[in-house]
Each structure stands twice: as C-alpha cells, then as structure tokens.
Amino acid sequence: MMRIACGVEYDGSPFYGFQRQKQEPTVQQCLEQAISEVANHDVTLICCGRTDTGVSAAMQVIHFDTVASRTPRQWLLGINSSLHKAISVLWVQPVSDDFHARFSAISRSYQYRISNRSVRPALNRHYLTWQRKPLNHVHMNEAIQCILGTHDFSAFRSSQCQSKQPIKTVSYAAVSRNRDQVVIDVTASGFLHHMIRNLAGTLMTIGKGEQPVSWMAEVLQSRDRKQAGMTAAANGLRFINVTYPEQFKLPIMDDYES
C-alpha cells in the first residue's frame, strides 16, 4: 500500500462544497471517481480542510492510499483527463505513511475578496462578494489585528460547526485594497465552520462605519455569535494554501500561484 499526496485547485461555483454528500456534484466525489479510474480500485481521499458550497481553492492538499503502481506523471495526467473541468490536480507526490493531509498541516490560509464599487461586478462575479457602500479598509485592517494569537472564536462560529473546541491560533491577519477590491487574508492553525465568512461580515460592518474599530475586539471577547455581523456570502471566499513540516518536502504554493 502506498500513500499519495496531491495539490488541487478548483472553482467552487459548480459544487456543493468539498465533502461528499447526498447533493452532487461535490469536489470530493469528482476527485475520488477520477482517482479510482486511474488506480483501478475504489479510493477514499482525505483533504486538509473542507470548503462550503461555492467556495474555491487555489491549493487544497489531499492524500489517498493505493495498491496501484503509477508514476507521479501517470497519476497527474490520468486523474486530470477524467476530472470535472472545474478541478485540476497541480502535482502528485508519494509520501510516507505518517503523512496526513489534515492532521499533519501546520497552518491554513484563506482569502476573502470584496468588489467595493457602486456597480455590481460582471467579470469574476463568482469569486467576489459585492459591497456597494464604500469600505474603509484601513479601519478594517486595524480591527482585524485583535484576532492575532490564540483565542476562543465562538463569536465567529456557525451553529452547525462540528469542531470539538473553538480555540484557534491566528498567525497572520490583514485587510488591504487593490483599486476597487478589498481583500481579507487570514492564516491560522485551523478554522471553524463559517469563521472567515463571519469575520468578513463583521469587518464590512466596521468598514461601512456602522460600528467602531473597537467593536471587533468586543465581539471576539463576547464569545457570542449573536454579537457579530452577518455571515458574508460564500463566493468571495477562497482557500489559498496549507503548510506542512519540511520533512514531507511537498511543493510550495509559490510554484503554483494562480
């Protein structure tokens, strides 16, 4: 039995999220079908982090176990030739048995993009949230700094979250602007269900001037989801990257920036 790791990117708009479920298609279902065809046996995969309906990924990492003997190039070409066009495998690499796509991960990074202009976006509309009211990204960036470090993120946790505990460690958090796009970037040890979307909704409330910068810290400390802003739409969210210990020698995101 051999363990294989893959880097995957996908456009989340055609899918009901990553995880296999009754509603189809899902990213996991499509990947498992394609991989099983190449392996000539049924394959079940593990991913580094599940994404919701409509959420895209620039570098999702998965692993699966197989008895099939294939070169990385054979896996890569074979899987991609059978995949849904909205999914691409970027690289394939054999890994040791102690590698686990989820539990070996050190950190994960998400990005939330907002089209901030008076006219709704036509280009890239599936990957942007539209906010017509002007957003003060400087105030949003100041507000988000309070989440750095280790905190209880219950105030930004969905009621459907299945995580055993709400404590996460955030190593990077920033809000920036590129012309009419406001971008929220967060890197953490892990994320709760809807955590980034709830953070984004809260930050946009501050950006519109409806709440002061200090409100972000008050919401975080309250540990009460009812105190935070609305859950922002899924289409602005993208899973950006995941990092692992150097011992696994996996390709880095910079080589596959999209």
The parent domain of residue 41 ranges over 2-104
pLDDT (tens digit per residue) in 141-160: 999 999 999 999 999 998 77
What CATH number is associated with residue 119? 3.30.70.660
Q: How confident is the model at residue 60 (pLDDT cuts 50, 70, 90)?
A: very high
Half-sphere exposure of 174 (CA within 13 A, CB side): 5
Query: Contact at 8 Å (CB) between 191 and 112?
Result: no
Q: Which two tokens stand for residue 241?
A: 């990257």
- Taking only the tens place, the pLDDT of each residue in 2-29 is 999 999 999 998 999 898 888 789 999 9
* Segment (H or E) for 62: strand 56-66
In the chain, what is the straight-line distance between the N-terminal and C-terminal CA atoms, in Å? 33
Residues 67 and 142 in one domain: no
Residue 258 pLDDT class (50, 70, 90 cuts): very low
User: Does residue 252 lie in a domain region?
Assistant: no
Assess whether 99 and 183 both reside in one domain. Answer: no
List active site positions: 52
Predicted pLDDT at 208: 97
Among candidate residues 51, 47, 50, 55, the one with its CA nearest the CA of residue 13? 55
Q: Select from 61, 100, 255, 103 the least CA-distant residue to 189.
A: 103
Q: Indicate which CATH number applies to the domain containing 15.
A: 3.30.70.580
Say how many domains are in the chain: 2
Whether omega before 25 lies within 30 degrees of 0, making that bond cis, reads yes
Q: Within a domain: residue 232?
A: yes
- The contacts of residue 23 (CB under 8 Å, 6+ apart) are 16
Of 163, 45, 169, the closest CA to residue 100 belongs to: 45
The predicted model gives 171-192 an average pLDDT of 95
